[in-house]
Amino acid sequence: MQVAIAAICAIYESTQMLPGLPITGENAGEAGFMVLSGPISLDDEHGESQRALRSAGRRYGMEVRLINHTPDPEITVAVAARRCYSSLGSEEVTSGLSPEDVKKLIDTIVKAGHLSPTEHASFTFAIEGVSRSLSHQLVRHRIASYSQQSQRYVGESGFECVVPPTIARNREALDLFEKQIDGIRETYSKLSEIVPKEDARYILPNACETKLIMTMNCRSLYNFFERRLCNRAQWEIRRLAREMLECVREVAPGLFSWIGSPCEMHGYCPEGKMSCGKIKSNGIQRGEV
């Protein structure tokens, strides 16, 4: 275990952090998570540490894949936008759009805030290596479809867990964390021999790793990204938002090139007194009237 911790620290010190994120406060925590759970490849020097982490039952990486989406999502949105402003019949309105026309139509509706045409494009993600703590936050985004690995039907003996970076970098905290997790694993295994899994699961922690399939339309993704790319968002779901944004930008850059945190898009912070200080606040905290 000492070898694993030492290697983690070495990787943390030598890994470049994301641009625009100073290693302070919450961002320091996210930087640590990037090292512990990011899609990075370890060279042979750290192979032993990787094995130690896996054998300790810690989840090593968040994995996000875009597994399906509306064919030609940008064209689909452009056709829907064109429908709103044209008297053409269905056959004509869906044909003859050049790439320049598509870009112009998308730019027009985005600048006007007329985003209902973007609801016609949907994106489906396969997500794993995230905690139940994250999934509890994720389902608050209600205009979406979720299919999550069931703890009622899938046994969790020897479950993997996501370790927060502040705990992973602190030896005392990590020892306490692992001791508690080991005890929960043992108790769960004993309980599941006595009672159904659906009842034994009540002892499982928020740190327990989960897997899910999620589908959102483009407009819902706009809302998700605006809320979860903010520095005030919890570090794990902020990382998920960045991974998802990378995925959709690859297939629909015209729809997502302008998306970012509220301060990046609007030039001010809506968090009021809770602002991270990256940009001047508008003085009104989200939710205030």
Cα gap 270→262, rounded to integer Å: 7
Q: Of 228, 232, 238, 239, which residue is the catalytic one?
A: 228
Could you say which of 210, 238, 254 is where a domain stops?
210
Is it the case that residue 64 has pLDDT exceeding 90? yes
Answer whether residue 192 is part of any domain.
yes
Residues 205 and 144 in one domain: yes
Is it the case that residue 289 has pLDDT exceeding 80? no
pLDDT at position 169: 95
Cα gap 115→222, rounded to integer Å: 10
Answer whether residue 145 is part of any domain.
yes
Look at the chain and report how many structural domains it folds into. Answer: 2
Answer whether residue 88 is part of any domain.
no
Residues 6+ apart with CB under 8 A from 59: 37, 129, 160, 161, 162, 163, 209
Could you say which of 192, 210, 228 is where a domain stops?
210
* 270 — pLDDT class (breaks 50, 70, 90): confident
Cα gap 123→202, rounded to integer Å: 32
Answer whether residue 242 is part of any domain.
no
* Mean pLDDT to the nearest integer, 247-261: 95
Answer whether residue 179 is part of any domain.
yes
Could you say which of 193, 210, 227 is where a domain stops?
210
pLDDT at position 285: 52
Answer whether residue 254 is part of any domain.
no
The DSSP symbol for 248 reads H
Phi-psi region of 125 (alpha: psi -120 to 50; beta: other; left: phi over 0): beta
Domain coverage including residue 272? 262-289
Residues 152 and 59 in one domain: yes
Cα gap 272→226, rounded to integer Å: 16
pTM above threshold 0.75: yes
On average, the pLDDT of the chain sits at 81
Residues 129 and 197 in one domain: yes
* 50 — pLDDT class (breaks 50, 70, 90): very low
* 164 — pLDDT class (breaks 50, 70, 90): very high
Q: 3-state DSSP call for residue 64?
A: strand
Cα gap 59→146, rounded to integer Å: 22
Per-residue pLDDT tens for 184-228?
Answer: 999 999 999 999 999 999 999 999 999 999 999 999 999 999 999
Answer whether residue 94 is part of any domain.
no
Residues 147 and 268 in one domain: no
Cβ atoms of 163 and 131 closer than 8 Å: no
pLDDT at position 284: 52
Residues 40 and 177 in one domain: yes
Q: Annotated catalytic, 228?
A: yes
* Mean pLDDT to the nearest integer, 247-256: 97
pLDDT at position 277: 80
Residues 151 and 271 in one domain: no
Per-residue pLDDT tens for 194-203?
Answer: 999 999 999 9
Cβ atoms of 163 and 207 closer than 8 Å: yes
| Residue with the larger pLDDT of the pair 254 and 23 | 254
Per-residue pLDDT tens for 3-45?
Answer: 333 333 333 333 333 333 332 334 434 433 322 222 222 233 3
